[in-house]
Structure 1
C-alpha cells in the first residue's frame, strides 16, 4: 500500500466545514447526480425484449395500463432496474472505502480480487449441487471475497509499495482464483450451466426476491460505512496522525474491509462480478471533489460514489441494449460494458502516474554471485535430462498407459492400430507443451529484465489476452480455419495488444510501473471482448472456448507446433545475443545509457520479441499463465542473475513445467482432462504468493 508522506511538525486540523455557499453547491451537485441517475433509470425501464414501450408505462403510472404491461414491468424490468441500482451503490461504496483504507486510487473489489474470491465461492457451491437462497449464497460469497481481499492486502504491503504492487498482487490472485473457477465450470458443466455469462456480471433477474433479500444487506453495510466516515477522514492524514487523534488504524481497516467485502459479496451474489464499477465510481467522485468544497469528506464522498456507481451500471446497461437491441441485455453481461469503461479509467490513471526515476532492483531479481561453469553445466545437463524425462512420461501417460517398448515399436512402425492411433494423437501434444513452455519462459525472462520487476510476466503486456481475442474470434466464426491462419490471427491480436500497451505507456519514456498498470488494463479489456464474442455467438457452448482459454493441448496436430518452433529458432538466438543489454536493463535506466545502450530501442525490440514468442505459444496451446513468472525465478535461483546463464536454464524449466502440467492434467482424472493452464496456475499461484511475501519481508518492496 502506498504510504502518505507527511512533514514533521504539529498535527494540522482537518479542513473546516464548507461555508453555506459551499454547502449549497454540494447539495446542487448531489441533486444533479440523483437527477441524472433517475433519468437513466427512466430510460432503462423503457428497454427490453417485449413490446411494452414508454406509452404503456405512462398509462400504468396513471392507473390506465393493461395487465400484460404490468406483468412485464414487475416481473422483468423493475427487478433488473433495482438490481442495477443495488449493485451500483454497493460497488461504489465498497470501492471508495477500499481506496481510502489502502490510500491507493487503484484499490477496488476487482483489483483486490474480492470479486474473484466471491465468484469462486458461489461457483463451488453450485458445482457441489447445492442451490442456496440469496442470503446464504451471499454469506458464502462474503467468506470467499474476504479471504481473497485479506490475502491481497497482506501481500501488497511493504516499505515502498506502490500501485503497481497492489495491481500485481490482486491480478495474480484473481488469475489463480479464476483458474479454479474455470476448472469447476469445465468439470461440472451441467451443474454450473449459465454461470459463465453470470460470472461476468448479468443484471437478468427472474423476480424481486433476490433484490428484496440483498438490498437490506447493502443498506446496512452502507450505513456502517457512513458511521466510520469521520474516522476515514482522519486516516487519510496518516497512521501516526490518526493514532494521535485517537483512531485505531488497524481496527478501522479491519472494520472497513469487512464492510466493503460485505457490499461486494452482496453485489456478486445478486448479479455476478460486475467489473470496474468499484474503481470507476470513486474516481469520478474524487475528481468532482477537487471542484466541490466538502465532497472530499467521506460523509459526502461515500454517498456520491454510491450514486456514481448506480449511474455507471445503469448507463452501461442502457448503452448496451441501445446499441445492440433488447435481446443483448439478456445474452451479453452488463459487466462486459462496465469493464470496458473501467479499463479506460484505469489507463487514464496509469498515464497520470509519474515516473519515480531509476528503480533499485529488488532482491528477488538482483544478480546473484557468479556461479561456476561446472555448476552451470551440471544444471543444464540435469535440465536436459528433465526435459527428456518429461518427454518420455508425456508419451507414456494418459487415459491409456503405455510402456517404453510400445513407444520404441511405434518409432519403428511396428505397433498395432490402437497404439498407433494413441501415439499419433499424443506426440503433437507433448511437443506443443515442451516448446510452448520454453517460449513462455524466454519471454518471461525478457519481460522481467526490461520491466525490472521480478513479479512481471508476459501477460502484463496484454499479449496473451490479445492473442486470445484473435483466436477465440476465429474459432467462433471460422471454426475450420487452418493452423497458419490461427497462428496469424492470434499473433496479429497479440501484436496489436502489445502495440496498444507500449504506445499508451510511452510518455516521454517508458516507466515500468505505468507499463504494468496499462498492461493489466488492456488485458482486462481483451478478456471482456472475449466474453462478448462467446456469449454473443453461442452462449450455450462455452466449453470449447473455456478449454482453449485455460491452456489445453487437446487435439493438437503436428502443423500447430510449427509456428512456435520457428519462433523459438529465430527469436531465442536474438534474445541470447542481447544478453548483456538485458543485464544492464535489469539494473536501472542510467547505466545502460552511460555504457552506450540505446535504451528505448533495446526495450522495444526485446518486448516485441517477447510478444512474438508469447503469441506463438498461445496459438499452440492456448492461454497458460505463471510459466513466464516462475521459470525465470527458478533459473536465477539455480545459476545466478546473468542472462547468459538464465535464458537456457529458464527455457528448460519452462518446458518441463508445462509438459508435466499437461501430463498431469490428462492423467489424474482420465478420461476427463484438466487443461494445462489450470494446473500451472495451481502450481504457480502459491509460488507467486511466496515471492510477494518474501519481497514484503526482505529488503525494498517490489515496485
Structure 2
C-alpha cells in the first residue's frame, strides 16, 4: 500500500473586473510632484518669475519683471520723444506736434517735421542699436566694462573717416557713414584675428581691442595736428558724436539694418541665456560656444558700426545701457530688449538736454554722455559685484 501524494496548491489567476466602455483605462501612477504632461510646456512656479509662450514648434521663455520693465521703458521713451519734439528754442504745443505728425502741416511743419522728428527718430534708433550691441559684447566677453568702444569699433570708424577726408576719397559728406561702418568692421575683424588662439578668450579679446584702439587713436591725433584748420574742425565735430544736422538720410539706413537683423536678434535673445553661464556648462548643454560667440560678436559689431556711421562715436551708451537694464530687470543675463529701450531712452533724453541746456548753444550729445558715463564707469569699478 503506497502513501498518497500531497496535492500541489493550484495557482489561481487573479480575477479582474471587466472594463466597461464607459470606464477609463488604467494608467501608470504619476509622481505627486509632477506638474506637466508629456508633450506640453513645463510650468514654472510663480516665485521664478518666468512664463513660456509656446506656439506649435516655437517656444519663448520670458521673464515677468523684464516684460514689465520693457513696458515702462517704452512709455518713458514715448514721453521723452514727445517732450523732445515740443521743447527747444521755439516751444511747440503737443497738439501742433500731433497735427504735424498726421500730415496736416501748419506753422510748425518745418521745425517739427523736418528738424526735430527725424533727429529724434535717429537718436532712438542709435540708442537702441548701441544698447543691444553693448549687451551682446558684454555677454560674449563676460565683462561688464566691455563695450564696442573698447574693442575698437569706434576708433576704427574714426580712423577710416579721417583717412577718407585726408586722402580726398570721399566725394560727398553723405558717403562718410558708409566709410565709418567699413572702418569699424575692419577694426573689429583685426581685433578678432589677433585675439584668436585656439579659441577666443574674453580677456585677450578685450586687451587686444584696447591696444588696437590706442593705435588708431594715435592715427587720428596725428592727422589732427598735421591737417588744415577747417578739415580738423570737421573731424573734431564728428568725433564728439552729434545728432545735429542729421535726419532721415541717416535714420532710414539704420532702421533697415535693425529690421534685417531682427531674426538674428531673436536668435541672439535665446543664445544669450546659456552663454551667460560658465563656458564648460554651456558646452555641456550642447551649445557650440565658439560659434555662438563669433555670431554674437559679429552682430554686435554690425549694430555698433552702423550706429557710429549714422551719428559718430557716441561713447558710454553701449557701456551703461545693458547694466542699467540688468539692474532694473534683475534678470540672470543681460536683457536684450530692455537694453535696447534703455539705450534709446538715455540717448533721446541726453540729446534733449544737450539742445536745451545752454541755448542758443548746442552741446554735442557725445560730450554729454561722456560727462555722465565717466562717473558711472568709476562707480561700476568701485561697486561690489552682484
**TM-score interval, smaller chain:** 0.7 to 0.9
Whether 1:686 and 2:375 are equivalent positions in the alignment is yes
Distance 1:492 1:426, change over 3 A: same
Pick from 631, 639, 645: which aligns with 2:321?
631
Residue 537 (structure 1) shift = 3.0
Whether 1:500 and 2:190 are equivalent positions in the alignment is yes
Pick from 423, 431, 434: which aligns with 2:121?
431
Give me the whole-angstrom Cα distance separating, in 1, the residues matched to 2:367 and 2:296: 28
Query: Is the 8 Å Cα contact of residues 170 and 176 (structure 2) preserved in structure 1?
Result: no
Residue 479 (structure 1) shift = 6.3
Residues 225-254 of structure 1, C-alpha deviations (whole Å, 9 max, x = no match): xxxxxxxxxxxxxxxxxxxxxxxxxxxxxx
Give me the whole-angstrom Cα distance separating, in 2, the residues matched to 1:552 and 1:371: 40
1:314-463 aligned at under 5 Å gives the runs 370-371=48-49, 373-411=63-101, 412-416=103-107, 419-423=108-112, 424-463=114-153
Give me the whole-angstrom Cα distance separating, in 2, the residues matched to 1:471 and 1:546: 11
Whether 1:654 and 2:329 are equivalent positions in the alignment is no
Query: Is the 8 Å Cα contact of residues 552 and 675 (structure 1) preserved in structure 2?
Result: yes
Whether 1:665 and 2:354 are equivalent positions in the alignment is yes
1:134-283 aligned at under 5 Å gives the runs none
Query: Is the 8 Å Cα contact of residues 180 and 305 (structure 2) preserved in structure 1?
Result: yes
Residue 575 (structure 1) shift = 2.8
Residue 405 (structure 1) shift = 2.3
Give me the whole-angstrom Cα distance separating, in 2, the residues matched to 1:487 and 1:642: 36
Residues 150-200 of structure 1, C-alpha deviations (whole Å, 9 max, x = no match): xxxxxxxxxxxxxxxxxxxxxxxxxxxxxxxxxxxxxxxxxxxxxxxxxxx
Residues 115-167 of structure 1, C-alpha deviations (whole Å, 9 max, x = no match): xxxxxxxxxxxxxxxxxxxxxxxxxxxxxxxxxxxxxxxxxxxxxxxxxxxxx
Query: Is the 8 Å Cα contact of residues 466 and 494 (structure 1) preserved in structure 2?
Result: yes
Residue 585 (structure 1) shift = 2.0
Give me the whole-angstrom Cα distance separating, in 1, the residues matched to 2:115 and 2:232: 24
Residues 600-644 of structure 1, C-alpha deviations (whole Å, 9 max, x = no match): 22111111111100011001111111111111111111223355x
- Give 1:298's aligned residue: none
Give me the whole-angstrom Cα distance separating, in 2, the residues matched to 1:688 and 1:508: 32
Residues 15-67 of structure 1, C-alpha deviations (whole Å, 9 max, x = no match): xxxxxxxxxxxxxxxxxxxxxxxxxxxxxxxxxxxxxxxxxxxxxxxxxxxxx
Residue 480 (structure 1) shift = 5.2
Distance 1:410 1:649, change over 3 A: same
Distance 1:594 1:377, change over 3 A: closer
Distance 1:480 1:388, change over 3 A: farther
Query: Is the 8 Å Cα contact of residues 487 and 563 (structure 1) preserved in structure 2?
Result: no
Q: How many residues align?
A: 325
Residue 564 (structure 1) shift = 1.6
Give me the whole-angstrom Cα distance separating, in 2, the residues matched to 1:475 and 1:370: 55
Query: Is the 8 Å Cα contact of residues 435 and 565 (structure 1) preserved in structure 2?
Result: yes
Residue 572 (structure 1) shift = 4.2
Query: Is the 8 Å Cα contact of residues 371 and 640 (structure 1) preserved in structure 2?
Result: no
Query: Is the 8 Å Cα contact of residues 123 and 351 (structure 2) preserved in structure 1?
Result: yes
Residue 445 (structure 1) shift = 0.3
Of stretches 393-402 and 424-433 in structure 1, the one that deviates more from structure 2 is 393-402
* TM-score of the two chains, using structure 2 as the length reference: 0.79
Pick from 172, 179, 190: which aligns with 1:481?
172
Give me the whole-angstrom Cα distance separating, in 1, the residues matched to 2:205 and 2:287: 21
Give me the whole-angstrom Cα distance separating, in 1, the residues matched to 2:185 and 2:79: 34
- Give 2:311's aligned residue: 621
Query: Is the 8 Å Cα contact of residues 199 and 290 (structure 2) preserved in structure 1?
Result: yes
Give me the whole-angstrom Cα distance separating, in 1, the residues matched to 2:257 and 2:217: 25
Give me the whole-angstrom Cα distance separating, in 2, the residues matched to 1:455 and 1:572: 26
What is the SS of the residue equivalent to 2:149? helix
Residue 517 (structure 1) shift = 1.1
Structure 2 spans left out of the alignment, 5+ residues: 1-46, 51-62
Residue 370 (structure 1) shift = 4.8
Whether 1:593 and 2:283 are equivalent positions in the alignment is yes
Higher RCO, 1 vs 2 (CA within 8 Å, ≥6 residues apart): 2
Larger radius of gyration: 2
Distance 1:555 1:500, change over 3 A: same
- Give 2:39's aligned residue: none
What is the SS of the residue equivalent to 1:666? helix
Distance 1:478 1:556, change over 3 A: farther
Query: Is the 8 Å Cα contact of residues 468 and 490 (structure 1) preserved in structure 2?
Result: yes
What is the SS of the residue equivalent to 2:104? coil
Query: Is the 8 Å Cα contact of residues 449 and 583 (structure 1) preserved in structure 2?
Result: no
Whether 1:509 and 2:188 are equivalent positions in the alignment is no
Distance 1:400 1:528, change over 3 A: farther
Whether 1:525 and 2:226 are equivalent positions in the alignment is no
Distance 1:399 1:472, change over 3 A: farther
Give me the whole-angstrom Cα distance separating, in 1, the residues matched to 2:292 and 2:322: 20
Task: Pick the structure with more helix per residue.
Answer: 1
Give me the whole-angstrom Cα distance separating, in 1, the residues matched to 2:303 and 2:208: 20
Distance 1:616 1:522, change over 3 A: same
Residue 452 (structure 1) shift = 0.6
Query: Is the 8 Å Cα contact of residues 434 and 659 (structure 1) preserved in structure 2?
Result: yes
- Give 2:264's aligned residue: 574
Query: Is the 8 Å Cα contact of residues 354 and 362 (structure 2) preserved in structure 1?
Result: yes
CA RMSD of aligned residues (A): 2.1
Query: Is the 8 Å Cα contact of residues 461 and 498 (structure 1) preserved in structure 2?
Result: yes
Distance 1:402 1:475, change over 3 A: farther
* TM-score of the two chains, using structure 1 as the length reference: 0.44
Give me the whole-angstrom Cα distance separating, in 1, the residues matched to 2:250 and 2:320: 25
